[in-house]
Amino acid sequence: MKLTYIALGVALCASSVAASAQAPTEDEVILHAWSWNLNTIAENMKKIADAGYTYVQTSPVQTCYVGEDGGLALFSQEGDSVSGKWYYYYQPIDWQIGNYIMGTRDDFRNMCDSARVYGVKVIVDVLPNHTAIDDSAVTESLINAVGGRDNLFHANGFTPITNYNDRLQCTTGEMGGLKDVNTENPDFQRYYLQYVNDLINLGARGFRYDTAKHIGLPSDPLDPKSERNNFWPVVTGRESVEGLTLFMPDSLYIYGEVLQDRNVPEEEYAEYMDMTASSYGHVLREALRKGAFNEDVLTNWHHRVAPEHLVTWVESHDTYCNEHESADMTDDQMRMGWVFLTARQHGRPLFFSRPAGSTRENYWGNNVLGARGNDEFFHPEVVAVNKFRTAMSGQPEELTTAKEGAVVEVCRGEAGAAVINLSDKDQKVKMATSLPDGDYTDAVYGSQFKVVKGNLEGKLSPMTSYIIYAK
């Protein structure tokens, strides 16, 4: 089956395109160094750069709730000799740089200095939407800065969300026990913006907004305490607050965790940031489980916004950790999906680094917060496709399948191709290609391919990918 990509999804308005035009290009690749602490990221920066990543994304670095006596297990269970949980850094008690899991402000500065040396840019996971479940742990400096405890939270901030498709509940209510911050309070906006600007001054060059769909857009209904929903205009540099403006807005890459659901105004979010392609990730994983691609996963991005404005993934830390939706899938399956996503023309792919020592029976592996993930982020096939994406800048994609979808080829013009065998069997293929006729050697394993009269011929090992460059 041969499919030439036709852009699907709604075209963005002119203001959105203009805002995104100054952002980094689609050719870039993000490593999500999930739960690596700042020193670990710094120590591995050369390896990250050598593996072809443009960005490294950190876990949250703001002051957080200290859970389980500061234990540093990824996820401890009853009877374990260690304690701790990865998600405590998602429970802010202040917006200052440094926490017991990730490291100090100096550690952040040093990590950014290392990134600069190796030409890697830093994305920080930020979460202004809520505080810790134990809101009594919020610091006095934060309370004073926002004009008192009552001004820190929405009027509905302690009322649990019962209908996530109700925009007032979704953007002002308590989510999973996390108290909802009054993000429309100008005093809070200024305090939070000081934190963001501090990160930028130290070297951050992008932000991932956690639970972004839980922060209201200008068109959303107002919380009783709010006069207007202007958080997104402020934190993306379109507006100032109390004399303070976002630093370097044109040099930052900003995207939001806007998980897809009914009644989510995705087009309006796209005016301020790129978004996560959560539905496409689900569809892709289903194809990987079946060991066969179909037309749906090849042509439909399952999003109302054009793919140029999507962050794509095979899995995220949420699909791996929360309900283990993707954790049972093998590293080989994840890698085949990654090669497919990254070889494509559109989307900005994000590689989730699984825990070191993890298996399909033991998802937490060595179970140590702060440690480097497993070796998959620099597997030879991953490195090869990361570099292939950069090399193929501007080349149009053409997708072809063979063997009832078990083999897929991503051609990028006449300049190169990625060939992926999703099956657990050797495959001998003859499939249409846009590569010129001739003999080819793949860049990963040195395997030989031939193109004769517009058909690619070669042998593929089980669950293996190949990267081919035109001469």
| pLDDT at residue 316 is higher than 70 | yes
Question: How far is it, in rounded angstroms, from Cα 91 to Cα 82?
Answer: 21
- Quick one: what percent of the chain has pLDDT higher than 90? 91
Count the residues in the chain. 471
The predicted structure's pLDDT at residue 22: 39
- Predicted confidence (pLDDT) per residue in 135-162, tens digit: 999 999 999 999 999 999 999 999 999 9
pLDDT tens-place string over residues 386-433: 999 999 999 999 999 999 999 999 999 999 999 999 999 999 999 999
Higher pLDDT, 365 or 21: 365
pLDDT in tens, 169-202: 999 999 999 999 999 999 999 999 999 999 999 9
**Residue range 197-236, pLDDT digits in tens:** 999 999 999 999 999 999 999 999 999 999 999 999 999 9
Is the pLDDT assigned to residue 318 strictly greater than 70? yes
Report yes or no: 431 and 1 within 8 Å, Cβ to Cβ.
Answer: no
Residue 7 has pLDDT above 60, yes or no: no
Domain covering 12-394 in this structure, CATH number = 3.20.20.80
Q: How far apart are CA 204 and CA 187, in angstroms?
A: 23
**Spatial separation of the C-alpha atoms in residues 35 and 72, rounded to whole Å:** 10
Q: What is the pLDDT of residue 1?
A: 43
For residues 159 and 146, is the Cβ–Cβ distance under 8 A? Answer: no
Select which of 210, 223, 397, 398 is catalytic. 210
pLDDT score, position 6: 30
Catalytic residue flag (residue 250): no
* Per-residue pLDDT, 14: 31
Please tell me the predicted confidence (pLDDT) of residue 25: 78
pLDDT of residue 79: 86
Assess whether the region 12-394 and the region 399-469 belong to the same CATH fold: no
pLDDT beyond 90 at 15: no
Q: What's the confidence (pLDDT) of residue 471?
A: 81
Average pLDDT of span 276-301 = 94
The catalytic position among 135, 257, 376, 398 is 257
- Confidence bin at 17 (pLDDT 50/70/90): very low
The per-residue pLDDT for range 258-286, each reduced to its tens digit, is: 989 888 999 999 999 999 999 999 999 99
> What is the residue extent of each domain of the chain?
12-394, 399-469
Note the pLDDT of residue 441: 98
CB atoms within 10 A of CB 324: 11
**Full 3-state SS string of the chain:** CEEECCCCCECCCHHHHHHHHCCCCCCCCEEECCCECHHHHHHCHHHHHHCCCCEEEECCCEEECCCHHHCCCCECCCCCCCCCEHHHHHCEEEEEECECCCECHHHHHHHHHHHHHHCCEEEEEECCCECCCCHHHCCHHHHHHCCCHHHHECCCCCCECCCCCCHHHHHHCEECCECEECCCCHHHHHHHHHHHHHHHHHCEEEEEECCHHHCCCCCCCCCCCCCCCCHHHHHCCCCCECCECCCCHHHCEEEECCCCCCCCCHHHHCCCCEEECHHHHHHHHHHHHHCCCCHHHHHCCCCCECHHHEEECCCCHHHHHCCCCCCCCCHHHHHHHHHHHHHCCCCEEEEECCECCCCCCCCCCCCCCECCECHHHHCHHHHHHHHHHHHCCCCCEEEEEECCCCEEEEEECCCEEEEEECCCCCEEEEEECCCCCEEEECCCCCCEEEEECCEEEEEECCCEEEEEECC
The span from the first CA to the last CA of the chain, in angstroms, equals 26
Q: Is the dihedral of CA 260, 263, 267, 272 positive or negative?
A: negative
11 has pLDDT over 70: no
Query: Mean pLDDT for the chain?
Result: 94
Contact 435, 392 (CB under 8 A): no
Q: Is the pLDDT of residue 13 over 50?
A: no
**pLDDT for residue 24:** 62
Structure tokens at 99: 């926490």
CATH of domain 399-469: 2.60.40.1180
Percent of the chain surpassing pLDDT 70: 95
Residue, of 332 and 3, whose pLDDT is higher: 332
